Amino acid sequence: MSIEGVVFDPNDPELKETLTYLTIPTEERIKLQAQPFDGKKQCWVPDPKESFVAGEITGTKGEEVTVKTAKGDNLTFKKDDIQQMNPPKFTCCDDMANLTYLNDASVLHNLRDRYGRWLIYTYSGLFCVAINPYKRLPIYTIKAVLMYRGKKRTEVPPHLFAISDNAYSNMLRGDIGSFCLDRENQSMLITGESGAGKTENTKKVIQYFALVAAASAKKEEGKILPGVYVTSAIVARQGKVLDEFGITHIISIQAKPISPFKHREYLLISPQDHISQDLLQYAAQCNDFIHNARLNQGKVLIHCRSPSIACIYVMTITGISWSDTINSLRGVRTLVDPNFAFQRQLKYFYDQHMVQERERLFTKFGPFNMINDDISFVMKNLALYHEEQRRLTGNFIDIDYLHLSTKNDTNISSSDNDKTKNIHETNSDLDDFFQNSDLSSMTPESRSLLDQMFSS
C-alpha cells in the first residue's frame, strides 16, 4: 500500500463517504445552531439513567430550583446541582476547549452527540478523545491520509491522523528556536481502559507514519541544483552520508561550528533567525563559496533552518523569481519555510541587487556554462512542488508548463525561454503575502525595525 500516484480529489465518492464520518454537513450544522436558546433558563440536571438531561428552569426559591426536564418531569434541585448549558453554536463542537461552559454535563453531551453521528474523534485542547465505534469506519484510507498530510489541525476535522501529522512535522522541523535544523524525537501517549481501542489507534498511527515517510523517502531529498544540497545539521554530522553524496564543501549556518571532517572545506556564518537580521550581507561571500566549489567539480551542502542563502545563489545563477525559487526548494524539501523577513529580503534582492550580483560573480569567476542545466533542474523541482500541492489540495490546474520569471539573463537561450511559457505566477506578490500573514500580531517596534531594514 502506497500513497504514490494517488491524487487528493474532494469530489471523489470514496472521500465523500469518509467525510460523512468526520464532519457534519454544513446545512445540518446551520440547522442545529439555529435552535432557540435562553441561556438564563436552559441547563443540565442530574439523571440516574442518563447522568445528565437537559432542562428548563421554571422557578427559583432560595437555594432550590424547579426544572422541567426534557423527559417532561418537573423536579426540584439544589442550585449547586444545576450545570450551565452552552449555546447551540457549540453543538457537536470539534474542540471542547472552545466551550463557554466546560462542565461534566457539557462534555458528556458533546461527546455523546458526536458519537451518535459516528464522529468518534473530538479534540479537547491538546488531547484527542477517541470513542470506540465497535465497527469499521472508512476513515483510515490512503485518501484520508492525503487529506491530513501537511495540514494544520484547525484545517481538517478531528482525527488521529491530524495528531500523527503534527508529531511527524515537529520531528522533522526540530527546535523552532534554533536557526539550524536539529530534529527532535516526538512521543504520543495513547491511553484508555480495556477495550477502548488503544491497540487499533496505535496501528493507525504507525500506518500513517509508514505511508507518509515512504512517500517522502522517494524524493532526492534536498538537491536544489546539480551539486548543491540543502539539508539538516544531522546530515552534516554524518561522515558516511557526506562521502556517499560526494560532499566537498559545507556552509554551516549556526553560532557554533560542527566538528569538521577532513578533506572538506567549511564556511561558517552565524546569522540569527530574527526579523532584524540582515541576511543579504552574506550573499557575496556564500555565492563565491558555492560557485567556486561547483566550478571545481565539488558538491556543496548548506545546512540551516532557513534556506534563504541557497535561494540567493539559485536566483543569482538562474534569474528565477524569489517566489518560484522558494517553491522549487520546497519541491525537494517540504520543510523549506523562510520567515517573512527573510522572504522580504529575497524579494528585495531579486528586485534591486540580483543583476549586479550576477555580473560581479561572472566577472570574478568567468563564464558559467551550466545556466541552462540549472534552469531545467529548478523547473523540475518546481513541478514536483506543484504536483505535491495538487495531490494534497485537489487543485487540478494544468501544470505542464510552469511560469519561471527570469530577469536580465543574456546567457539563457531562446529554447530555454520556450520552456518557461507564461501561464501564471506561482506565488502572489509579497504585498499580498504580508496582508495574509501574521504581521498584524507584530509589535510596532518590530514592524518599524523591519521597515527600516529596507528603507535605504
Active site (catalytic) residues: 304
First-to-last C-alpha distance (Å) of the chain: 56
- Chain-centre distance for alpha carbon 34: 34
Q: Is 56 helix (H, G, I), strand (E, B) or coil?
A: strand
Query: How far are the Cα atoms of 124, 137, 155, 196 from residue 127, in angstroms, in the given order?
Result: 5, 21, 17, 16
The cell numbers describing 257, all together, are 561550528
DSSP state of 213: H
The CB density around residue 413, as the number of other CB atoms within 10 Å, is 12
Helix (H) and strand (E) counts for the chain?
17, 12
Measured CA to CA, the distance from residue 371 to residue 365 in angstroms comes to 14
Measured CA to CA, the distance from residue 341 to residue 327 in angstroms comes to 17
Question: Residue 396 carries which side chain, given as an amino acid letter?
Answer: F
The secondary structure element, H or E, covering residue 258 is none
Measured CA to CA, the distance from residue 19 to residue 29 in angstroms comes to 14
253 strand-pairing partners: 269
Assign residue 364 a region (left: φ > 0; alpha: ψ between -120 and 50; beta: otherwise): alpha
Where does residue 63 rank: exposed (0-12), middle (13-18), buried (19+ CB within 10 A)? exposed
391-398 contacts, C-beta under 8 A, 24 or more apart: 391/6, 391/7, 391/8, 391/146, 392/8, 392/146, 392/149, 392/150, 392/151, 393/8, 394/7, 394/8, 394/9, 394/10, 394/11, 396/9, 398/423
